[in-house]
Structure 1
Amino acid sequence: MEEQLPTTFADKPTILLVDDEESILNSLRRLLRGQPYEVLLATSGEQALDIMAKQPVDLVMSDARMPNMDGATLLAHIHQRHPDTLRILLTGYADLTMIVKAINDGQIDRYISKPWHDEELLLTLRQSLAYQRSERERLHLVQETWEQNEELRLLNATLEKHVASRTAELQQTADMLDLAYEELKHSYVTGTEVFSLLANLRLPPAKQTNRQIIELVRVYCKLHGVDEGSTRDLTMAAALYNIGKLSWTDSMMTAPADLLHHNDQERYRGYPKQSESLLMTLDPMKDAARLILHHQERWDGTGFPDRLKGEAIPLGARWLKLAVDFIELQRGLILERQMNSDEALVYIRQYAGRLYDPDLVEDFIQVCAAYQSDVSLADPTVKVLTTRDLATGMILARNLNADNGMLLLNAGKVLSGPLVEKLIAFEAMEGAKYSVFVKVPEEVEAAILEAPLVVQAQP
């Protein structure tokens, strides 16, 4: 076989840290203290290559900017001499040329920006080494399978009993390969989530959405028993649905979609296609990329990019749109006003049959209730009323806030006639229109039904 395989797997991976600033090396060494790694340090590219000539190293993390030999050049040398070693570039500069050089010449596995986030850096190291170990084990199993097949070919003519025994062993090996492949696919999903979290760092915490959408998708898949492959595709789509927005300006990324100017609106409508284009070259992402491409289609055919209508929209894309809009409405990325969870669901219910698949909306509300504890709309006893529909004895199901965020009434408050009149007057004074979530006791509902209908004369 052409591939040279390791004969053993180190239980304690060796990591080489390279930086010309000893303070950076000391910070990284303190961060990795207590981790299951053997840590080596080098203050130059030349010293790093000398160390690697004397002992095996599993992963090199190098600073980009160093005198004599920069990080990209060092990682290119390491790729040529030690191709099995993982290569990570650590850079504190927004230097696209340096990153492109590292990718093209050093074929780096990842790059990390300085200053780094400790947990994210540790997670990156852990995921990279886990993938390396899985790949080594896979190659080891491939080698073992090839050797066993050679044995079987030589023994096939005369040793039928031995053939049967070896066949059983080969089946076991195939099962192990399947398990290794499943682990690799799981690592791929994890990698997309890690990348999505890094991409989200461009946004302030109050505008970040990917983690919440991923978790909401997982709740849906678990509650509905979605098969593993579809769950994986939908999860990766949730992680990377907005990767096409990374070229936007910071102000455009945080602005509500309905306030974008005409030119920005055109760019906004192009982001699903841009996201899909970035992912289509990755074979495991093809199905997820298709969901991303169509997650802004609308049930009535007015969406984008292809104006698909009704069931022509892939089911996963229909569900992803519900999840994306539910979270983005709460982050103020669709409308100017940030909604609470129930207001977002009222909006989604209002546009069922226009923006959303009407057969999915009520089920989606139940999934949101399982995911987010403050959802009260899933309770069939809760009604959403205007202030003029309120009546004495109704009970607030959730806090009522003014449009400016000021708390007006707490959940659990029993409404009285004077209180309702004050709410109506305050609403008129503010020029607002409140949606009030209330529970209606049976006796109050009966009294409303028995009350005579009063028709006011038109002026």
Structure 2
Amino acid sequence: MLKSILLVDDEAAILRALNRLLRRAGFTVHTANSGKEALAVLSQNDIQVVLSDFRMPYMTGGELLLRVKEEHPHIVGLVLSGYADLESVTSILNSGTAYKFLHKPWDDTALIAQIEMAFEHWATLQKQHGLTRMVWESDEALFEINAQGIVSHLNPAACDLCCASENDVLRQPISEFLHAVSPRQIEQLCLNSETQTELVYEDNIFELACRPTANSLWILSVRQKSHNGGLGVKHLLHRSEIIRRLSEWILPDKETDQCTPLPSACLIYMDVNRFKTFNDSLGYQEADKLLAEVAHKLIEHKPAGSYVGRITGDEFVLAIPGISSDEETLTLINQLLKVFENPITFANRQVYISFSVAYAIAPVDGRCPEDLLQNAQAAASYSKRRGRYIYPRYKPEMNKRNNELMTIQSDLYRALERNEFSVVYQPKVSFSNGRILGAESLLRWKHQTLGMISPATFIPMAEDNGLIEAIGEWVLATAATQSKFWQLDGLPSFLLAVNLSGRQLQEDGLLDTVRSIIRTSGIDPTLLELEVTETFLMQDIDHSLSLLHELKSIGIRLALDDFGTGYSSLNYLSRLPVDTLKIDRSFVVDLEESKERYNLVRNVIRMSHDLGMQVVAEGVETQTQFELLKSLNCDEVQGYFISPPVSPDKFRMLLENQPLIDNNYNLALPAFAVE
């Protein structure tokens, strides 16, 4: 079946993000930026599902879906909006105008799954009176029930599951035959038809899903689930199975109905970093195979008596009984991560996997399994924000921070249209004469109520939500236009650098976008440099090479950013058509204390010069670091020792007052630097 969906939203950035995501997932996508335009598109196209924003001028999403229901009753309507609109949306959900409510910000994988369910719902409605004979001959146990759980129809597989004949089950409550299913659960399933609930039934895991048919009846599917966490990996548990295992260690006190941990238990939460880039570059099926490889390694190296589970797409947990100390937990975490120091050979390439890791220990961090899991996840979110090598234990203030992040994530969608973004510029200065050779353009966000938001917080959000393409395009256009203004004012020319995210580099229209911005701004392409990260390039070296050569053909320069944070760059560096290599600040910060780090930086500079590349040292903050890098023949310096990132007006002052540094320092270098 051709799956045709109409996206309706008055924000162009959101339409682009959704359009790109759903096309990659195999849907036929139409778009409209208003209710009026949506109705026109529907009149000319065969569409099964409409996904509409709620807050739109002239015609709200609710008003649009009411018109759709009246004029196109076969179409399934969905609302995509923020939590703030939930109360307003409830009435149209209850009236049947909309099939379900999806919230912003969205998770790509979950959104696609929900839309797939909407198409399944559309197909069900076409059958009018339940399932066809072919479906009823399915191996999956299927019951047709009303909202009270009374069975009106069932298939042979359902009879086998109930160990009863069809006549025995008909017109009886399903809870009489599936004792794990309570009338309350049936009611909840029918009221919220997209809900899926996992239940333990006779020591097996079953997944129950309820979807509506005609005449206020529902089809309840009961599918036995294997213990493979959804990836086909033996001994990889589902979330419900992890909860059950934890319940064996965190036992409820029947008299007080309170949870008393007996004995202590530790839950380590492991979130694969930037896994969406693997989904985008490999496709969801291949990316799941990669996750299976990760799961195999975790299970192979887990401690005896522990369990590995998969919570969501790329999030795993390790549940261990009897651990109560931070020292023991951190030792275990380091042992697990050591397994992933070497690449995973996958699909004829070497892939490096890293994690954001955190943990929680019962009873201090959670007296019940669900609380322990929730708090470990909150700590993992904190770990993701702090960066690599931070493996925190849960603290109560982390939940408060997560609530604040939800606000930031929601407001990010409108930050561009509210003009809350700005661009600042940090100079890159020549070691030889102290003059500005280049500048890096950096994005800043001043929130209306929270003030300045760190890029380390909102940039990953923008990448995850598909907004980074629109934001990145705005940064490039703003910086290029500003550079042209400085040139027209007769200020000294320099190389303007702009960062490209991994998501931008995967965008099909990137080349056309860059060409258009160069043409519109009037910037000389030879004065434009695009910075790409080492980590992204190494994920698919062949695709990276092709893309970089296409960008070079425009006339712009390329820089390899954050060099040294990846793993296999030395193998491929000679193949990359980059002009500049940037040494990551993490190597500069220890330069004056570590002989090993000093020798590494020295060798990188020599190698880069042999390959014809310029070298820029990032994060230089002290005079000693400056002098050491100068003695190693580094070409350019960037960091707070020279200047922090500054506004356009202040950067103009830097351009007008060169050179910025005096090279006549009298400084004693460390002994290893003058050997």
More strand by share: 2
Q: TM-score if structure 1 supplies the norm length?
A: 0.38
In the superposition, the TM-score normalised over structure 2's length comes to: 0.27
Q: Say which structure is richer in helix.
A: 1
